Structure 1
Amino acid sequence: MFATDRASQGMGMELLETGDGSALVRMTVTAAMINGHGTAHGGFIFALADTAFACACNSHGPVTVAAGADIAFTAPAREGDVLTASARERTRFGRSGIYDVTVLRGTSVIAEFRGRSRVIASRTDAASAGAGRGRAPS
């Protein structure tokens, strides 16, 4: 999934690890990510956490999307900071799941994210339904 994620790659994110219900993603805060207070805009931190969440919940195979997410910012990030987002599955039930993502600057926690996932189709179903239309089903 990450190989075709142009949005995340466009923000300079790198997928470092992915496993059964887990993922580790890295991003360096650039000048274009700085808000009017001189700190990283929260939307970029959320996007980093969301990408780790997406990689973790899609590691099982079926096409899985976010059903919702919350984030708590605990410390600012600044230009040049290297951030890592570590996602781990808490539970899966039926077609739903809950994932926690910790965003770190070195060893300091700067955000905690909780995502709720929903399986929408198997990879084969999505490929068949999207064939010829240039998109997966919604």
Structure 2
Amino acid sequence: MFDADYASQSLGIELVDVGAGTATTTMTVTKTMVNGHDIAHGGYLFLLADTAFACACNSYGPTTVAAGAEVSFVASARLDDRLTAVAGERTRYGRNGIYDVTVYRDTPSGREVVLEFRGRSRTIQREGGSA
């Protein structure tokens, strides 16, 4: 799925790891991602988290999409920050799932959380192609 995700790739998002219900993505904040307050625009932070979420919930094979998501902005990200998004499955039930994603940056004093994301997924295609 990530190989065909031109939106994420055009922003320099990299898929670092993927496993059953998990995924890790990274992105560096560039000048075009910084808003008038000299901080990263929240939409880019959401996109990084959403990409990790999408990779995690699609890791089982059937086509799965977002049914909804909520974010909490914890700290500002700035130009040249290297951000990491780690997604993990909380639960799957029927064709639905709940995933948590933490976006952080590494600092000399340790990891600093930038954003917390909770996504709800819906499988729209079962194994073999039928809905």
Match of 1:67, SS state, is strand
Q: 1:30, 1:122 → 2: CA distance? A: 38
Indicate the residue corresponding to 1:26 in structure 2: 26
TM-score, normalisation: structure 2 = 0.94
Indicate the residue corresponding to 1:114 in structure 2: 118
Q: Which runs of 5+ in 1 are unaligned?
A: 127-136
Summarize deviations over 1:56-86 as a string: whole Å, max 9, x none: 0000111000000000000000010000000
Q: Which amino acid aligns with 1:40?
A: A
Aligned residues: 127
- 1:1-138 matches, within 5 Å, as 1-106=1-106, 107-122=111-126, 124-125=128-129
How many Å apart are 1:124 and its aligned residue? 4.1
How many Å apart are 1:115 and its aligned residue? 0.1
TM-score, normalisation: structure 1 = 0.89
Q: Which amino acid aligns with 1:20?
A: A
Q: Which amino acid aligns with 2:118?
A: R
The structure with more helix, counted as a fraction of residues: 1
User: Percent of counterpart pairs with the same letter?
Assistant: 61
Match of 2:124, SS state, is strand
Q: Supply the RMSD in Å over aligned alpha carbons.
A: 1.3
Q: 1:122, 1:85 → 2: CA distance? A: 27
Moved over 6 A (4+): none
